[in-house]
Copies of this chain bind each other. A is one copy, B any other.
Amino acid sequence: MSQYKHVALIGLGLLASSISLAMRRAGMKARITGTARSKATRDTALKLGLVDAVFDTAAEAVKGADLVILCVPVGVMGAIAEEIAPYLTEGCTVTDVGSVKRAVVEAVNPHMPDGVHFIPSHPMAGTEKSGPEAGFASLFDNRWCLMTPLESNDHATVERLKVFWGALGANVEMMEIDHHDLVASVISHTPHLIAYTMVGVADGMNRVAKTEVVNYSAAGFRDFTRIAASDPTMWRDVFLNNKDATLEVLGRFTEELLALQRAIRLGDGDFLFDYFTRTRDIRRSIIDAGQDTNAPDFGRNKEES
């Protein structure tokens, strides 16, 4: 299956820069063009060699590309799609890295001309960093990339994109669009909202000094702050565009939390113990599936040495 010859990256943040670095690591020779809204980002991407050429507009960046990857917040995907539509090459593939899929399909697909293949993707990898300097070549290694092909997509075109994500290091799975949005809400969107909330609560407690929150964060809170430091624009758009699934999962969450709160108030130790034992089993499964390390110190010594 042939590799893409010209890849256009629309948006040059963490995801796009990691895609570029992973492409080069995989030995792909494709020409890489790109664009970003801010001149500073475009200049940085060019200086870092992430792109062979940058353009001021998405319309220019996609000219001649046989793969266009939309690496912008979910809320602006539709406007970008409308802008680039007249400039897309016949037969090219357009994909995206959005964390929400139904809203992106509805925003992007109506703009796509005949002969252009829009195939939604969601590479589930990231850090709390943003910007072109945040990328690294191994971001996708052993992470999952969910593709949610449309009925109109032909098999060979989907397979070609699947091979691309696989070459970047990802394990690729196909998923139905709405199911994707529910799964993403459970394992990513709602946990992010919860983390944001917990950090907001800590920040707002008058009786606890901010220095105390910061200094003593290692005891459970630190992982929350890492999650809650993610890009505000991206996450605003995720929640606004995955409203139904988020509200459903939040409803469940509040219900469960109130049950635990009640057990604490009533002193029902058995309820708490059983609940905490059940959640521990899930952790074991994740270790077994190779999605996290089992090192007793999580490798923190190495990180911080």
Contact = CB atoms under 8 A, between A and B. Distances in A.
Interface of A: 75, 124-129, 134-136, 138-139, 141-144, 146, 173, 179, 182-184, 186-205, 207-208, 210, 212-230, 232-233, 235-237, 239-240, 243, 246-247, 249-250, 252-254, 256-258, 260-261, 264-265, 267, 269, 272-273, 275-280, 282-286, 289, 291-293, 295-304
A187 B221 contact: yes
B247 A261 contact: yes
A186 B204 contact: no
Copies of this chain in its oligomeric complex = 2
Nearest to A224: B191
Contacts of A179: 207
Given A187-B220, A214-B291, 9 more contacts: A144-B216, A186-B205, A190-B201, A218-B292, A228-B279, A229-B284, A236-B276, A302-B302, A302-B303
Given A239-B272, A304-B142, A183 B216 contact: yes
16 contacts: A125-B219, A126-B219, A186-B208, A187-B216, A190-B201, A197-B253, A199-B283, A201-B256, A203-B278, A203-B279, A222-B291, A225-B286, A226-B292, A232-B272, A235-B272, A246-B264
A257 B256 contact: no
B239 A188 contact: no
Contacts of A196: 260, 275-276, 279
Given A182-B207, A279-B225, A236 B194 contact: no
Contacts of A278: 200, 203
Contact of A252 (B173, B205, B236, B264): B205
Contact of A247 (B203, B220, B265): B265
Given A182-B207, A213-B187, A239-B272, A200 B256 contact: yes
B220 A192 contact: yes
Contacts of A275: 196, 200
A230 B220 CA distance: 10
B232 A276 contact: yes
Contact of A188 (B125, B219, B265): B219
Given A182-B207, A257-B250, A223 B225 contact: no
Contact of A285 (B210, B276, B284): B210
Contacts of A237: 269
A27 B120 CA distance: 59
A102 to B, nearest CB: 15
A201 B232 contact: no
